Structure 1
Amino acid sequence: MHEQDYALNHAQVEQQEVSRVLRNTYGLLAMTLAFSGLVAYVAQQMRVPYPSFFVVLIGFYGLFFLAAKLRNSPWGLVATFALTGFMGYTLGPILNRYLGMPNGGEVVSSAFAMTALVFCGLSAYVLTTRKDMSFLAGFITAGFFVLIGATLASIFFQISGLQLAISAGFVLFSSVCILFQTSAIIHGGERNYIMATISLYVSIYNLFVSLLQLLGIASSND
C-alpha cells in the first residue's frame, strides 16, 4: 500500500515538474520571440548592415555558452535575452534583403505564417501524443555535422543547387529539433527552462530564415 502511495505521489510530483517547465519555457519563449522581433524591426528600419560571419559566430556561441553557464541563476535570463536580441539584430538585415524584392512582403509573411504553423503543429503533436522522441538524437547529431559541412562547402565552392539543399536541410533539421526538445521536456530529459527556451528559439529562428531562403529562391525563379 505504501509503495503504491509512493509511486502515485512520485508520478504527481513528476507531472507537476513537467507542467512547470512547460509553462516557464513557453512563457519565456513568447517573451524572447517578442523581444527578438522588436530588435529585428528596429534593425530593419535603421537598415543596419549584416555583421560579418565571425562576429555572428562569436556573438552567438559566446552568448549561448554564457546563458548555459548561468542557466541556474537569474543572470541566465539576462543572457537569454541578450542572445535572442543579438539574433534579432542579425535578422533585421536579412528581412531588408527580402523586402527589397518585388514581392518581398509576401515572401516574408508567408515564411512567418509557415514557421508558426510548423512550430505549433509539431509542438501540439508531441504534447498530445506524448511520444518519446529521444531516438532522434542520433539524427540530430549527424544532421548537424552534415549541415555544417555543406555550409562550409557553399562558402568555398559555387555548386549549383547547394544553397537550396542546405535551406531544405535546415527546415527538416529544425523541425526534428522541435520534436526532440518538446519531447525532452515531457519525458524528463530537460528540466531547465532556460536551455529549453534557447533550443526552441534557435530552431524557430533557423526554420524561419530557411523558409525565407526557399521562398525567396522560388520567387526569383518565377
Structure 2
Amino acid sequence: MQNVHHFGSAVATDNALIRNRVLRNTYWLLALSMIPTVLGAAIGVMFGVPIPRGFLGALLFMGIAFGFFYAIEKNKDSGLGVALLLGFTFFMGLMLTPLLQRTLGFANGGTLIMTAFGGTGAIFASLAAYATVTKRDFSMMGKWLFAAVIILVLASIANVFLGMSALSIVISVLVIAVFSAYILFDVQQIVNGGETNYISATLALYLDVYNIFTALLNLLGLAGDRE
C-alpha cells in the first residue's frame, strides 16, 4: 500500500513538473511572439502596406489566418510549429497597419498605442496570475466563449457594411470581456493539464492578447476621435 502511495505522489509530482514546464515555455514563446508582431506592425506603418478592407479583406484575412492555424496545429510537436507561429504573429502585426495608421493620425496617437499596450499587459498579467492560483473551475466556459466569438465575428462583419461607431464600441467592449474570460480558460487548461502542448497554448493566449489589444486601441481611438 505504501508503494502505491509513493507511486501516486511521484506521478503527481511528474505531472506538476510537466504542467509547469508547459506554462513556462508558453510564456517564453508568447513573449518572443511579440517581436515579429511589432516588426510586422512597424513595416506595415512605415511602408504603408496596403491591407485589403471591407468584406473581401475580411475573407482574405480569415483564409490566411485559418491556413496558419491548420499548419501550426499539424506541426505543433516540431520546431517548424514555432517558426509557423512566429510567421503568423508577423502577419498579425501587418494586419494592425490600418488601426495603427488611424490612431497615429491623432495628436496623442503614440500615447494611445502605449496605453492600449500597457492596459493589455495589465489585464493579461492579473488574469493569468488569478487563473494559476484559483480553485474555481473555468472549463465549463469553453463552449459559451466559442459561441460568443462566433457572434462577435458575425457582428464585426455586419459592421463592415453598417459602419456604426456605436456598434463598434459595443463590439470592442464585448471583445475585451470575452477574451479576458478566454485568458482565464486557456491558462487554467495548462495549469490543470488539459493543454500539454506549449505551441498550441501560445497560439490560444496570443489570440486572446491580440484581440484585447486591438479592442482597447479601437475604444481609445474612438474616444480620441470624439475629443
Q: Which TM class, normalised by the smaller chain length? A: over 0.9
Q: Which residue of 2 aligns with 1:49?
A: 50
The Cα shift of 1:159 comes to 4.6
TM-score relative to the length of structure 1: 0.94
Render the CA deviation track for 1:138-182: whole Å, top value 9, x for unaligned.
321221122122123213335561111111111111101111100
* Residue in structure 2 matching 1:183, options 188, 211, 222: 188
Counterpart residue number, 1:77:
82
Deviation at 1:219, TM superposition (A): 1.6
Letter in 1 for 2:119: M
Q: Structure 1 CA distance, aligned partners of 2:223 and 2:99?
A: 17
Query: How far did residue 110 of structure 1 move?
Result: 1.0
Uncovered stretches (5+) of structure 2, i.e. residues with no partner: none
Q: Partner residue of 2:142?
A: 137
Identical pairs, percent = 35
Q: Any idea what the Cα deviations from partners look like across 1:108-147, whole Å, max 9, x if unmatched?
A: 1111110111011111111232543212113212211221
Q: Could you say which residue in structure 2 is the equivalent of 1:90?
A: 95
C-alpha contact (below 8 Å) 2:190/2:201 kept by paired residues: yes
How many residues are matched?
Answer: 222
After TM superposition, the structure 1 = structure 2 runs for residues 142-221 of structure 1, keeping only pairs within 5 Å, are: 142-159=147-164, 161-221=166-226
Aligned to 1:14: 15
**1:160/1:49 Cα in 2 relative to 1: closer, same or farther (>3 Å)?**
closer
Aligned residue identity for 1:6: F
Q: Distance in 2 between matches of 1:108 and 1:125?
A: 26
Task: For 2:72, give the aligned amino acid.
Answer: A
Structure 2 residue 32 is the aligned partner of structure 1 residue 31? yes
Identify if the C-alpha distance between structure 1 residues 157 and 100 changes in structure 2 by more than 3 Å, giving closer, same or farther.
Answer: closer
Which runs of at least 4 in structure 1 moved beyond 4 Å after TM superposition? none
Query: Normalization by structure 2: what TM-score?
Result: 0.92
Q: Which moved more, 1:14-23 or 1:103-112?
A: 103-112
Distance across 2 between alignment mates of 1:31 and 1:176: 23
Would the alpha carbon gap of residues 92 and 152 (structure 1) be closer, same or farther in structure 2, given more than 3 Å must change? closer
Query: C-alpha distance in 1, partners of 2:94/2:43?
Result: 8
CA distance in 2 between partners of 1:82 and 1:103 (Å): 31
| Kept after mapping to 2: 8 A contact 1:130/1:183 | no
1:56 maps to a residue whose letter is F
Letter in 2 for 1:33: M
Distance in 2, matches of 1:115 and 1:104, equals 17
Which ranges in structure 1 are unaligned for 5 or more consecutive residues? none
8 Å CA contact retained: 2:72, 2:81: yes
Asked if structure 2 preserves the Cα contact closer than 8 Å seen for 1:50 and 1:94, the reply is no
CA RMSD of aligned residues (A): 1.5
Q: Write the letter of the residue equivalent to 2:10.
A: N
Match for residue 64 of structure 2 among 59, 79, 87: 59
